[in-house]
Structure 1
């Protein structure tokens, strides 16, 4: 078959593009296979006073990583208080959602929440009270290992419902970790 030079060129270009796409897909597949072979991040969870807390350490590149804590009220219609709430609440109402680390781990930044703060009015309280919307709240804390050894995550929170009242606040609830050359691992419950 006689093809014009222009047809030959566009066929070569299409073939080259197809080969590049195939190479890219193959590389992505190899990368995914490598990524899926990686160990899952260390996690731990517990439930106390109407909230389930799930902790994980991600993005670990010794000695730095990210500590994620997901606070999930166990009943519909419950919210958590802002991380910015004072320790004793507003006029005694509420307790902040808090994550701190001690021992071989240090905070390497500020605790942030992936939820917008809104304010509510509480009967008998003059000032607005900052809370997150009803449901789960994900917080992250940049962390840094200060060598190998034992570490503790200290958690605090309180959940409330405008219709059902509040659960008993939790303060400085410990979760233990061990930091080694292989990274952090949570202690067995």
Structure 2
């Protein structure tokens, strides 16, 4: 089902500044009813060599987190971002945290707990720059459709950890979805590497969108 959209052009910056529903409370959210699933759900989006760590859908984007090449306490997280509807793009990782003139939010991922990062989040997709009415300069975005990002990580011990993911999806013709800020994917760091923490939570469901961008 397509998310609802709001026609008021003046609301785009204010709406993009809002945290996604359910994330502000600190619990995992997403999906049609704000559900995060860790385990085998969505494994078709991950290569056979990867270990699936988490999968959720929130605000028009399906996100999969997988682990590659774990050895000597380090490896690489692969994050797949797939807009549910055609014609939607994600913003580049180097977009300022508050966007350009309040428009857009960068694609982000950070870790906490017993898992740290050894390099910034990287996306190999080409960046194109959109010139938008009412926005100073241009806004860096990825091509429409799915993108894959990598995040090198290293364990600092064993115990609880999480990957916190942020993004916003927009269409040049159909509007912008509300951003997702720091959506947590809980993990457990074991002596043999990260595993999915068995957590399922319910949030508030899909959010409306702002104006076309």
Shorter-chain TM range is: 0.7 to 0.9
- 2:137 pairs, out of 107, 114, 127, with 127
**Partners of 1:62 and 1:183 within 8 A in 2:** no
Q: Greater share of helix residues, 1 or 2?
A: 1
Equivalent position SS for 1:95: coil
**Partners of 2:90 and 2:107 within 8 A in 1:** yes
TM-score, normalization: structure 2? 0.69
Deviations 1:84-124 (A, max 9, x none): 00100001000000010011000111110020111011111
Alignment partner, residue 17 of structure 1:
none
Deviations 1:8-59 (A, max 9, x none): xxxxxxxxxxxxxxxxxxxxxxxxxxxxxx9851331100000000000111
CA RMSD of aligned residues (A): 1.3
Gaps of 5+ in 2: 1-47, 201-213
Alignment partner, residue 172 of structure 2:
162
Greater relative contact order (Cα 8 A, min sep 6): structure 1 or 2?
Answer: 2
Gaps of 5+ in 1: 1-37
Structure 1 position 50 matched with structure 2 position 60? yes
Distance 1:126 1:39 in 2: 44
Distance 2:123 2:167 in 1: 13
Distance 1:159 1:136 in 2: 11
**Partners of 2:189 and 2:195 within 8 A in 1:** yes
- 1:62 pairs, out of 50, 69, 72, with 72
Aligned structure 1 segments of 4 or more residues deviating by more than 6 angstroms: none
Deviation of the 1:168 alpha carbon: 0.5
